[in-house]
Amino acid sequence: SGLGPNLGVEVVDVSEDGLCAHVRESVNPGDEVEVAVGRPLGGKLHKRHARVRWCRAAWGAGFLVEVVFARRLSLVEVSEIGA
């Protein structure tokens, strides 16, 4: 069960501490969100609670958002996501 609607479109970059993603709707800095990321064609899904650091209008449509995970991903988990 998540914290709200699925807003994700595409992960731009991911690290142990957080990620940047292209999303459909704007979110506010400081908002708590749940992030679920994994390989596009299957594999393990990694879920984390996170806090929005910033959000701004993206190219074309949607928004770019950076979130900081409440609990870091391991290097193995980051490599499994492969963003």
| pLDDT tens, residue by residue, 11-53 | 889 999 999 999 989 999 999 999 888 776 767 888 899 999 9
- Answer whether 0.85 is exceeded by the pTM: no
CA distances (Å), origin 53, targets 8, 69, 75, 81 = 16, 10, 22, 21
Residue 30, by phi and psi: left (phi above 0), alpha (psi -120 to 50) or beta? left
